[in-house]
Amino acid sequence: VSGLLYDLRLVGKSLRRDPRFTLVMVVSQALAVSLFATALATGRRYSAMTGQLAPDVYRVERAPMPALESFFNGTNYEGFGSFATLYVSRPIARALAADRAPAAQTPSFVAALAGGPPGDEPRRLPVRFCEPDLFDVIRADFQFGGPLRRDDAARRPPRPTTVLSEMLNQQLFGGADSVGRTVRIAGIDFEVVGVMRQRPGKVHLWDIGISPENLGYAVVPFAFADALRPVPWIIWPPAFDDPTWAGLDDSSRSFMEYWVRLPTAASRAAFQATLARTDPDLLLRSGDEIVARHAHAPAPYRVFAILTLVVVEASVINLMRMLLAKATARASEIGIHRALGAGRRTIFARQMLEGVLVSMTGSLLGLALALPTLRMFDRLIPDTPVKLAVTPAIVGTALLVCLLAGLATAAYPAWRVASVQPTRYLGKV
Amino acid sequence: MELGPILRSMRHHKGAFSLLVLEVAFGFVILLHALIYARYYRRFGTVAPGVPIEELVVVERRFLHPRAPERARAEERAALALLSGLGADGVAALDTVPLPDSVTFPMILRERGNLKAAFAWITRATPGVLDALGLKLVVGQGLGGAPASGDARPIVISRRLAGELFDLPEQALGRVIDGGPGARGTVVGVVENFALQGSGTPSWGSVAIVADEPVTEHRAIYVLRCRSDRRAGLVEAARRALDANPVAAADAITTVRPFVFENVRFARISRGAVVVLCWTGFLIVAVALAGSLALSSFSVTERTRQIGVRRALGARRREIIAYFLLENLILTSLGLAVGLVLGYGLNRALQLVMSNIPLETDLVLLSAGVFLGTGLLSALVPARRAAAIPPWAATRTL
């Protein structure tokens, strides 16, 4: 320990000797790391979705549509074509609902209506229509209250209750506990029974495919769809003869997701048979497959992450160059150390320590700088209202990359300095 | 100027010079790709051609209660008549705002009985839509009188869609398009290409407008057009007219706004992405420049004796400056050569992720120019310092 402290003292002295030089090294590394951490945060918003679905969850989907997918591929809307496979029509949903095999099942779609707390100025209000079973399918955390209750939805007439997303609760009630308050939606008063918590820096798996302006929504029982007559914004194919709720009722147009929980092999087999009878084009996609689809961030974010990784590389080379120049300039001092008995390993370790110290200081400063950078990104690129966040996973990844980069940075100058004979250094004294 | 001493010096300091070459190479690669990506995003947010954005006024009405379809139709006709009386150059009801914040799906359209198909962005609109959006007719006519149903429903398509389905615009007239329910009808006109969705969407110019009353139970959208200098007045007149009319005003949230392209979400994303990417490019150039400038004192101190000897042997100050500049030019050129190879490799790799970001010659030249300029600038400081070294400095370390 005392050796390490001695080395640290020497390294500190070396860095203090030319503070402007040290500052350039630290700041350039910090800027690169802040950009890299920001790229990780933007990518993470749409990827790594494990743990958001209950086990045994499946979604009913349509067979892939290669023509539509290739239409969007290679553009900024990469992957958009596959969204059309996620939806089924209302007649199909009705046929599937008759099957009792699933332990839980729900259609789900979002449509924009109008409303707000009674007495407030009405506003555009996105609404998600689903059965209370949705909360058995997804793993939603609650900020206040809890999920929709089955007995409320099963009553005749159903009890008008709603669960708000954190974003909508913020917009309507300033983020306060709104359980027990009323939200008027298209003329019907709904009692708030829960507020879902938004995961920091991440769009929920069940919200992917919902347009950003609809992400702050109220969840209401599907039983109210006939009264509220919503017309969903996303419909595939988009044109049809009667674009009203009544027109959608028996149309082949797809607009709702259909989620099920099938805990046993028998229930899976029974439901598969129902699917085949209903429409041979339908298939069951497991929760694991759905999560795997979002293992990687969308293409534009991946490109940005690769670019920022190259920025870190360039910053590492810059640092390496500066450390080498610094070590070469201190040749006489190192020569004296060697002549006084310091071995190559000691010199190497000291140089490594200096490199890693500079690199890690720059990285920590970069992570601190990432916070205002993220806020700037959120303002500049209004891709989604889900704000970017620096999570422990991002801090860990960035620090690991920076530690490896720091070791690589310091190794070459340290090796160069340590490998030269002391006599050559002493010649410069 | 002889190259011999420079090359010998490079051999002697090969470690440091290799790092400089690598730094230039990586810097060039990043700047080049930041510019390529920024250009991609800029294109993505370019003002959509074919529509005189600065002349449009958008009216959106969201109803507080769902309306029965018949009542909705009647109210929509009343509102349309009200807005038509305001002296605008064109008024129409559409089922979508032009250039919406979020993209919907396109339709697959084909001629009945023909295998040839094309993707098209589709909208339903009332007959005045060509005037309302300021579309230029190529051949045929607009949507005409009252919308008919079935195959007789008039459809206007864009030149690009006509080309994809029928080769020539003239050949499209009178042909029956069948995209399934709601997208079936006869082509009555072909207009110049225009973007209905964002200009960054695939095949943005491939559009079909179906004659219909775009009635929904919750929402109505109207577009009005007038000369840009009269737009503020039209916005005010529309607002007053809708507020004053009890049928139109009842039970609805109404917004009347001049259409501003800069407020469209994809335009803001595009602008933000360009800023971020240019910042990334600037950052890398600044880091390289700061590094080189910070190193300048070291590079001169290291070679004080060598420069002193050259000065003692008769080298003039400007020759010392030229020596440093030439050395830097050689190293930067080497770095750019390595950067070109690396850049090509990275671009191929990135195109596996996103196919439409190819290398572009002008951006290659611009990035190379920036690094040559930065290199020379960063060499000028040590060069001037070196030139100031007196000849007797050579004797100090002998």
Give tens-digit pLDDT for A73-88. 877 787 888 889 999 9
Does the distance separating the beta carbons of B353 and A306 come in below 8 Å?
A: yes
Closest C-alpha to A54, from A292, A386, A295, A286: A286
Does the distance separating the beta carbons of A313 and B66 come in below 8 Å?
A: no
Instruction: Please report, as a single letter, which amino acid is at residue A158.
Output: P
Confirm if B210 and B55 have CB atoms less than 8 A apart: no
User: Quick one: B130 exposed, middle or buried, by C-beta within 10 A (0-12, 13-18, 19+)?
Assistant: buried
Residue of B13, B20, B218, B367 to mutate for A, most A C-beta atoms under 10 A: B218
DSSP string for residues in A71-124: HHTTSTTTTGGGGGGG-EEHHHHHHHHT---SSEEEEEEEEEEEEESTTSPPEE
By the CB < 8 Å criterion, does A366 face chain B? no
Closest C-alpha to A330, from B301, B382, B8, B397: B301
Residue of B12, B32, B64, B94 to mutate for A, most A C-beta atoms under 10 A: B64
CA distances from A330 to A139, A334, A350, A426 (A): 59, 6, 13, 11
Q: In what helix (H) or strand (E) does residue B380 lie, and over which residues does it extend?
A: helix B361-387
pLDDT at residue number B145: 60
Within 10 Å of residue B62's Cβ, how many Cβ atoms?
20
Nearest by CB to residue A320, choosing from B19, B210, B275, is B19
- Residue entry with tokens 């991609």: B40
Report chain B residues whose CB lies below 8 A from the CB of A322. 291, 294-295
Does the distance separating the beta carbons of A212 and B27 come in below 8 Å?
A: no
Give the C-alpha separation, A88 to A94, whole Å.
Answer: 10
Does the distance separating the beta carbons of A186 and B65 come in below 8 Å?
A: yes
What are the two backbone dihedrals, phi and then psi, of residue A214, each rounded to the nearest 5 degrees?
-105, 5
Chain A residues 222-251 within an 8 A CB cutoff of chain B:
228-231, 233-246, 251
Q: Is B169 helix (H, G, I), strand (E, B) or coil?
A: helix
Within 10 Å of residue B42's Cβ, how many Cβ atoms?
15
Does the distance separating the beta carbons of B63 and A237 come in below 8 Å?
A: no
pLDDT of A241 > 70? The answer is yes
What are the two backbone dihedrals, phi and then psi, of residue A218, each rounded to the nearest 5 degrees?
-105, 135
Q: How far is B27 from chain A, CA to nearest CA, in Å? A: 6
Q: Is B204 helix (H, G, I), strand (E, B) or coil?
A: coil
Does the distance separating the beta carbons of A122 and B253 come in below 8 Å?
A: yes
Q: Which residue of A has its CA nearest to B34?
A: A307
Q: In what helix (H) or strand (E) does residue A201 lie, and over which residues does it extend?
A: none
Does the distance separating the beta carbons of B275 and A71 come in below 8 Å?
A: no
Confirm if A188 and A228 have CB atoms less than 8 A apart: yes
Does the distance separating the beta carbons of B26 and A310 come in below 8 Å?
A: yes
Does the distance separating the beta carbons of B202 and A77 come in below 8 Å?
A: yes
Closest C-alpha to A80, from A129, A46, A42: A46
Does the distance separating the beta carbons of B276 and A380 come in below 8 Å?
A: yes
Does the distance separating the beta carbons of A236 and B105 come in below 8 Å?
A: yes
Q: Which residue has the higher pLDDT, A257 or A11?
A: A257
Q: Which residue of A has its CA nearest to B19?
A: A321
Q: How far is A310 from chain B, CA to nearest CA, in Å? A: 7
3-state SS of B102-168 is CCCCCEEEEECCCCCEEEEEEEEECCCHHHHHCCCEEEECCCCCCCCCHHHCEEEEEHHHHHHHHCC
Closest C-alpha to B184, from B150, B144, B141, B136: B150
Chain A residues 193-222 within an 8 A CB cutoff of chain B:
211-213
Nearest by CB to residue B356, choosing from A74, A123, A240, is A74
Report chain B residues whose CB lies below 8 A from the CB of A67. 108
Chain A residues 301-340 within an 8 A CB cutoff of chain B:
302-304, 306-308, 310-311, 313-315, 317-318, 320-322, 324-326, 328-329
Q: Is A392 helix (H, G, I), strand (E, B) or coil?
A: helix
Give Cα A368 distance to the centre of its chain: 20
Closest C-alpha to B155, from B131, B136, B119, B179: B179
User: Quick one: A146 exposed, middle or buried, by C-beta within 10 A (0-12, 13-18, 19+)?
Assistant: middle
Residue A161, strand partner residues = A191
- Residue entry with tokens 């004659």: B211
Q: How far is B35 from chain A, CA to nearest CA, in Å? A: 11
Give Cα A332 distance to the centre of its chain: 52
Chain A residues 125-184 within an 8 A CB cutoff of chain B:
none
Instruction: Please report, as a single letter, which amino acid is at residue B373.
Output: G
Give one word for A34, left, alpha or beta, with left for phi > 0 and alpha for psi -120 to 50: alpha
Report chain B residues whose CB lies below 8 A from the CB of A237. 105, 107-108, 179-180, 183
Q: Which residue of B has its CA nearest to A84?
A: B105
Nearest by CB to residue B180, choosing from A237, A246, A328, is A237
pLDDT at residue number B47: 64
Chain A residues 86-105 within an 8 A CB cutoff of chain B:
none
Does the distance separating the beta carbons of B295 and A325 come in below 8 Å?
A: yes
By the CB < 8 Å criterion, does A119 face chain B? no
Q: How far is A76 from chain B, CA to nearest CA, in Å? A: 7
Q: Is A144 helix (H, G, I), strand (E, B) or coil?
A: strand
Nearest by CB to residue A237, choosing from B65, B107, B301, is B107
ipTM of the complex as predicted: 0.82
Does the distance separating the beta carbons of B287 and A314 come in below 8 Å?
A: yes
Q: Is A354 helix (H, G, I), strand (E, B) or coil?
A: helix
Q: Is A189 helix (H, G, I), strand (E, B) or coil?
A: strand
Give the confidence band of A415 by pLDDT, cuts at 50, 70, 90: confident
Query: Strands B184-191 and A254-261: what pairing?
Result: unpaired
Does the distance separating the beta carbons of A321 and B291 come in below 8 Å?
A: yes
Instruction: Measure the N-to-C terminal CA separation of chain A; round to a whole number of Å.
Output: 31
Does the distance separating the beta carbons of B20 and A324 come in below 8 Å?
A: no
Does the distance separating the beta carbons of B269 and A77 come in below 8 Å?
A: no
Give the confidence band of A429 by pLDDT, cuts at 50, 70, 90: very low
Within 10 Å of residue A400's Cβ, how many Cβ atoms?
10
Q: Which residue of A has its CA nearest to B350?
A: A303
Report chain A residues whose CB lies below 8 A from the CB of B32. none
Q: How far is A211 from chain B, CA to nearest CA, in Å? A: 6
Going by the DSSP 8-state scheme, the letter that residue B71 receives in this structure is: H
Give me the residues of chain B with pLDDT under 70, please: 1-2, 46-48, 145-151, 246-250, 294-302, 393-398
Q: Which residue of A has its CA nearest to B26?
A: A314
Does the distance separating the beta carbons of A71 and B34 come in below 8 Å?
A: no
CA distances from B283 to A362, A411, B314, B371 (A): 15, 25, 41, 13
Nearest by CB to residue B280, choosing from A77, A311, A313, is A311
pLDDT at residue number B1: 58
Report chain A residues whose CB lies below 8 A from the CB of B276. 377, 380-381
3-state SS of B233-291 is HHHHHHHHHHHHCHHHHCCEEEEEEECCHHHCHHHHHHHHHHHHHHHHHHHHHHHHHHH
- Digit-coded pLDDT (tens) for A358-414: 888 999 999 999 999 999 999 998 888 999 999 898 999 988 988 888 888 888 888
pLDDT at residue number B209: 95
pLDDT at residue number B296: 64
| Residue contacts between A and B (CB atoms, under 8 Å) | 223
Report chain A residues whose CB lies below 8 A from the CB of B63. 114
- Digit-coded pLDDT (tens) for A40-71: 999 899 888 989 999 999 999 999 999 999 89
- Digit-coded pLDDT (tens) for A199-233: 999 999 999 888 899 999 999 999 999 999 998 88
- pTM score over 0.90: no
Within 10 Å of residue B244's Cβ, how many Cβ atoms?
10
DSSP string for residues in A241-285: S--SHHHHHT---EEEEEEEE--SHHHHHHHHHHHHHH-TTEEEE
Does the distance separating the beta carbons of B29 and A124 come in below 8 Å?
A: no
